[in-house]
Amino acid sequence: MKNIYKTLFITLFSSLSLGSCTGIDDLQDDPNRALEVPPELLLTQLETRAFNTISLSAALATRQLVFTDGVNSDQYYNWQRSGFNAYEDLKQVQQMVLEAERTEMPAYKSLARFFRSYFITGLTRTFGDVPYTEAILATEGNFAPAYDTQKDIYLSVLNELKTASEELAENGDNIRGDVIYTGDALLWRKLINSYYLRVLLSLSNKTGDADLNIVQRFREVVNNPGTYPVLASAEDNGVLPFHNIEGNRYPLFQNNGLQTAYYMEKTFVDRLKTLQDPRLFSFAQRTPKAVQQNMEVTDFEAYNGLSGSAPLDENVDIAGNGDASMINERYYKEAANEPGILISYAELQFILAEAAYRGWISKDADTFYKNGIKASMEFYNIAEEDINTYLENPAVQLGENAIENILTQKHIAMFMNTGWQIFFEQRRTGYPEFDVSGGGVLNNGRIPKRWMYPAKELTQNRANVDAAIERQFPEGDDINAEMWLVKKE
């Protein structure tokens, strides 16, 4: 009898022990994630980040749209801090470099030079000095990188972009994972060289700086189209297509806010009306009153905006009375709508027009200017005869206020695309004028010149951010302070 229980116990004992046989070491590989990936997987990710440039905030800050659900800091110019999220993108660039080296695919390293330049430029123009040479070195133990001066960053960016374009002429025959140009290296070189010209123009306050040598660099590209091809037509535009697929849709598709609380800005609408610009019909809806009165879509009088600088309640009242135009329905009803633009042929033409007008290159500014307008209008599917009529409009001619006119056209062409680019163009040139005349504007009626550094830098990288603030801004980390880029030399 006794032995039966012993046997029973041992049987139970051994059957239970089956449950605990799994070795620890066998369970230490993550079946859900990869330790290494081909660089193309990172390229796709970077492209969807860099080219997805739709920003409602930028539209509010650049007097294209108005918000009526509260006092918005972008619209009323009392914003404070911005973020360092772009360093996350810069890390993915760094990973693409590592994976390109591992797999010996140098084209991705060259593309990485472009993306690195693109993201760091976005950071430095927002804040001023930012970490660059010491950035993305956490894996080497640098958790609090020093800040580089803005000038050094721009110098580096200019060289990197040039190198990227030159290298891709040699190594660019095997680019996969490319949702922008499907691996066409020539198109990438065109995009990079055009972007290079954009960066050079953004330094127009620094023409006297011998280190940068902006004008010479600009000429080098324009005068050597064989070595430095640029975007030749709207076909070459650097754009991210949106699709009716989950995650790939136009970012504002089905957006509730856009349908209920955003209106066209008055100075913008009035400008389009003055210029008799048919792009208005593609940007905006008629006012509810105009719809009620059965006014034509092509009747400029059917459109009206809200003043971006007026007090909130005034705007709410006008909108409530049906006297304000909303954005065109396609922005929230069409899943693909229009692509996200990083840089377009139209913008390049405006860049060249301005450079020609400034005498950087000896070409005809007016031709570039009109090419730019034409390309932009074609982007919005304006009929050719309407384009021609528009181009003949005396108010549209380049004339004496050439810079203002070019920037005004750039502002129109960049409606709801190209991110914050037009804000920085306006900061550089003062054109087009952003209205601050109304009683609603905060920040003492000024347009901020920058953003404050992220609060996290104050806790995690204080010595370096303090040093950067001190050497740049005697008034402290202030949104109205002027960074190197903005100062005329």
Partner 1 sequence: MKYYFIVLLLSITPRLFAQHEVSGKVTDADGIPLGGVNISVPRTSLGSVTDFDGFYTIQATSAQDSLTFSYIGFKTQTIPIAGKNQLNVVLSEDTEQLKEVVVTALGIKKETKALGYAVQEVQGASLEKAKEPNFISALSGKVAGLNIKNSTDLFQNPEISLRGESPLLVIDGIPDRTTDLWKVNADDIESISVLKGATASALYGSVGRNGAIMITTKKGKEGKITVNFNNSTMFQPSFIRVPKVQTTYGNGDNGNYAYVNGGGGGSEGGGWIWGPKLDQPDPSTPSGYMETPQYNSPINPETGERIPIPYISRGKNNIENFFRTGLVQTNNLSIDWGNDKANYRISLSNVYQKGIVPNTDLNNTSFSIGGTITPSDKFKVASTLTYNKQYTNNFPAVGYGPTNYLYNLVLWTGTDVDVRDLRNYWKEEQEGYQQRHYNTSWYNNPYFQAYEYLQGYDKDNLFGNLAAEYRLLPEITLKARAGANVYGLQRTYKEPKSYVGYNEKSLGNFTVQNTNYFDITTDFGIRFEKDLTENISLSGEAAYSGYYRIQNFHSTSTDGLNVPGFYNLDNNAGTTLIGENREEKEAIHSIYGFVDLGFYDAFYLSITARNDKVSTLAKGYNSFFYPSVSGSVVVSNLTEMPDWISFAKIRGSWSRVSDGKIEDIDGLNANNPYNYIQAYDKGQPWSNAEGIRYPSSQYGRLLISDALKPKTSDSWEIGTDIRFFRNRLGIDIAYYQAKDYNNLENIPISDASGYQGYLLNGNVYKRKGIEFTVNATPVRNENFRWDTQVNFSQYRRYIDEIYGDKEYTEDRLKAGDRTDKLNNVSVYQTDGLGNIIYENGFPVTDPYGRYVGYTEPDWTYGFSNTFNYKNFTLSVLFDGRIGGLMYSSTNQKMWWGGISPGTVNQYRDDANNGESTYTGQGVKVVSGDVTYDSNGNITGDTRQYAPNDIPVNYISFMKTTSNAHNENYHYYSQTFIKLRELSLTYNVPETLVAKTPFNAMSVSFVGRNLWLSSKIPNVDPDPGKDNLQAPSTRSLGFNFNLKF
- Contacts of partner 1 in 424-463 (CB under 8 A): 439-442, 444, 452, 454-462
- Contacts of partner 1 in 270-309 (CB under 8 A): 288
Tell me whether residue 100 or residue 353 sits nearer to partner 1 (CB atom). Answer: 100
Measuring CA to CA, which residue among 51, 432, 414, 82 is closest to residue 74? 82
Among 214, 284, 342, 469, binds partner 1 (CB under 8 A): 469
Strand partners, 66: 263
Tell me whether residue 169 or residue 316 sits nearer to partner 1 (CB atom). Answer: 316
Both tokens of 17, joined, read 């022990």
395 lines the binding site for partner 1 (CB under 8 A):
no
Cβ of residue 230: shortest distance to partner 1, in angstroms?
A: 21
CB of 451 closer than 8 Å to CB of 102: no
Among 465, 481, 483, 485, binds partner 1 (CB under 8 A): 465
Cβ of residue 400: shortest distance to partner 1, in angstroms?
A: 37
Tell me whether residue 95 or residue 110 sits nearer to partner 1 (CB atom). Answer: 95
Among 182, 293, 298, 437, binds partner 1 (CB under 8 A): 182
DSSP state of 302: G
145 lines the binding site for partner 1 (CB under 8 A):
yes
> For 380-439, where are the alpha helices, taking DSSP H only?
384-392, 402-413, 421-429
Rounded to 5 degrees, φ, ψ at 444 are 50, 35
Tell me whether residue 184 or residue 386 sits nearer to partner 1 (CB atom). Answer: 184
Beta strands 238-240; 340-343: pairing state: antiparallel
Among 6, 362, 385, 487, binds partner 1 (CB under 8 A): 6
Number of residues that bind partner 1 (CB under 8 A): 119
What is the three-class DSSP state of 324? Answer: coil
Measuring CA to CA, which residue among 261, 260, 312, 305 is closest to residue 280? 305
- Contacts of partner 1 in 37-56 (CB under 8 A): 37, 40-42, 44-45, 47-48
Cβ of residue 59: shortest distance to partner 1, in angstroms?
A: 16
CB of 21 closer than 8 Å to CB of 75: no
Cβ of residue 342: shortest distance to partner 1, in angstroms?
A: 14
Cβ of residue 383: shortest distance to partner 1, in angstroms?
A: 24
- Residue whose entry in the numeric block shows the structure tokens 């993305």: 136
CB of 245 closer than 8 Å to CB of 40: no
Cβ of residue 182: shortest distance to partner 1, in angstroms?
A: 6
Cβ of residue 3: shortest distance to partner 1, in angstroms?
A: 11
Cβ of residue 354: shortest distance to partner 1, in angstroms?
A: 30
Cβ of residue 265: shortest distance to partner 1, in angstroms?
A: 14
Among 60, 136, 157, 412, binds partner 1 (CB under 8 A): 136
Point out which span in 155-163, 167-175, 398-406, 474-482 binds partner 1 (CB under 8 A).
474-482
Diameter of the chain measured on Cα atoms: 114
DSSP labels for 153-200?
A: HHHHHHHHHHHHHHHHHHHTT---S-TTTTT-HHHHHHHHHHHHHHHH
- Contacts of partner 1 in 84-123 (CB under 8 A): 84-85, 87-88, 90-92, 94-95
Tell me whether residue 48 or residue 429 sits nearer to partner 1 (CB atom). Answer: 48
Dist. CA 473–CA 483, nearest whole Å: 8
DSSP state of 306: B
419-423: which pairs have CB atoms within 8 A and are 24 or more residues apart? 419/53, 419/54, 419/55, 419/58, 419/122, 420/55, 420/58, 420/61, 420/122, 420/126, 421/53, 421/198, 421/347, 422/58, 422/62, 423/58, 423/61, 423/62
- Contacts of partner 1 in 201-260 (CB under 8 A): 240-241, 243-248, 253-257, 259-260
Residue 12: which H helix or E strand, with range?
Answer: helix 2-17
CB atoms within 10 A of CB 384: 10
Among 101, 137, 211, 233, binds partner 1 (CB under 8 A): 137
Point out which span in 33-41, 187-195, 226-234, 424-432 binds partner 1 (CB under 8 A).
33-41
Tell me whether residue 154 or residue 228 sits nearer to partner 1 (CB atom). Answer: 154
Tell me whether residue 425 or residue 457 sits nearer to partner 1 (CB atom). Answer: 457
- Contacts of partner 1 in 59-78 (CB under 8 A): 68-71, 78
Cβ of residue 21: shortest distance to partner 1, in angstroms?
A: 8
Task: Determine the angle formed by the axes of helices 421-429 and 185-202, rounding to 10 degrees.
Answer: 30
DSSP state of 253: T
- Contacts of partner 1 in 304-363 (CB under 8 A): 311-313, 316-317, 319-322, 324, 326
Tell me whether residue 294 or residue 459 sits nearer to partner 1 (CB atom). Answer: 459
195 lines the binding site for partner 1 (CB under 8 A):
no
Cβ of residue 369: shortest distance to partner 1, in angstroms?
A: 29
